[in-house]
Structure 1
Amino acid sequence: MSATVAAAVKKIAIYILGDENKRGKLFVAVGSIIAGFLGLMFLPIAVISGIGSMNIEPPDIDKSLFTESALFESLDSEQQAEITNIQNQGQAIEYAMANAGVRDQTIKAQLIYMSYFDEVQNFYAESYADLFANVSNDSDLIAAINSTYGLEIDYDEFVRTYTFVMNSTLNSYMFNDAGSKNCSDLAAWADNAYISGWGYMNGFIGERNETDRIRYADNAGLVLGYLNYSPTDKKFDPDYDTLVYTEQGGIDTMPEVVGIGLFDGSQHGIYVGNGEVIFSSADCGYVTKEPVSNGSWTSWCTYMGIEYPQDVEDAIESLSGESSSE
């Protein structure tokens, strides 16, 4: 791709990825996976050069060019073949990640592929997805990818790029059941907020601040954001403005179910498994994760609007039986 075209795409990628409304109008409206992947091809360079200052002037864009056919036809035959291959590999990665049980990491897998795999031969999406399924953290993942494919991906560069991309969007792959509001997906929502580097700001539930373009949520807003977010429409609805919760028992009686709420008398946390809780902290100024044992959590709770599995219902019934027998 020519330097002129590459520079234009990089500038447009930063501008669009930095504004969800513009991204929706230009990328989503055309329904083109090609357009999205075209922008992702240049993200590492764009992020490294622009992440320090996102005050980028809107580029001069002829919006009539942002149709699938116009974008594709503007490229020569070699470039068209490259984009078609990227499209096919991106879809193959999506299917392979789902089959490997790591669907929530699809954007990560596609981003790494688009960014670093231009010289990799004999790529197989299935074996690539297995790397994501068989490691427990991103540091080990990058090391495994580097070793397997002979790459030299810098971990810190990857983290900067991935955090920026994830903060720019809401990962549609995080939900196991987008048609309901359930505690498993609440835990996934909280984990996504932590991975994406959301900040703390009063009155926010996961929206991006127009000034700095960072996503924020206050403490209750982390749960309210999940309750109000529509994965189908990809927007926040005004269904819930108050977090309604019920303290069910002491922390020592909590069932081992991800998505259960924790409470310390003033702030809420979301249990995400492995003895860890995620919450939006006013003291820290961002969404953070810590061992449950490190905090002052005193009780577990359930939230109105969230569905819970039978294990939770059984625990509530057991606690209720104990109370009535005293």
Structure 2
Amino acid sequence: MISYLDFEKPIAELQTRIAELRETADGGPANLDAEIRKLEQKADRLLRDTYGKLTPWQKTQVARHQQRPHFKDYVARLVDDFLPLSGDRAFSDDQAIIGGFGRMNGRRVMVIGHEKGNDTASRLKHNFGMGKPEGYRKAVRLMQLADRFGIAVVTIVDTAGAFPGIEAEERGQAEAIARSTQATLELTVPVVAAIVGEGGSGGAVGLAAANRVLMFEHAIYSVITPEGCASILWRTAEKAPEAAEAMRITAEDVHRLGIIDTVVPEPVGGAHRSPEIAIDTLGKAICSALDDLSTMDGKALRADRRRKFLAMGAS
């Protein structure tokens, strides 16, 4: 059962009507097939039209949809022989950031990403995908381990931002994110990052300073959440839609600005409507990016990242 967003109310009403007609047809002699087909076609057109002209705020809502695939879903479908590795060897194991060795399409990879969870208990366990310092220090440890063995790194980014709690600040949150970003930039192996939902602030950049950055069509990438921006500029989170528009956070915007390399298409209606298709599409894009990088040596890979990120914002 799909959870509908506010702007999808007309679609939800049509789907409800279709379900009612199907129930009526199953319960008696009435032949409603023609009417059902007509409504299904209308619902499909409405869904395509709606998702063909989403505003930045509506894309934000889609990016946050609780039924979008999460890190564990990508690993389960794309990664064979996944071996999770735990802990930062200093404080604890952060469940918001998960990583380990595995194989993608036969290629050895280190996969690291944010896990938001898919129900109340798992969201609390994974802290809604908001990494703590020990999570980023774990990411550094795993990336350097992959580098030592010449294994490519793939990151799956989906976070509203790093955890802002007092205890995280006490344990050096800013320093941990900076070290993670630095470690990613210094790797001598191919690094591919995929922004699959929210790419929020330094919490995202800490895992996304890659040779190739892919981004789902309805994902967002921003220095702060629209609500946070609105609270600063207008003193109210109610201005979040205006902030989302001004911040240029959509995949099309950041691709045009040279922040990401590839916009990965989603199934009509978003990744949450056809998660397996979305995951497979992303998997092909990741493997294609890794193939392109496979001919470069370590020195060239580091230079490629340096050029990429120094060019951002240049006129």
If asked which structure has higher relative contact order (CA below 8 Å, sep 6+), I would say: 2
TM-score, normalised via structure 2 length: 0.27
TM-score, normalised via structure 1 length: 0.26
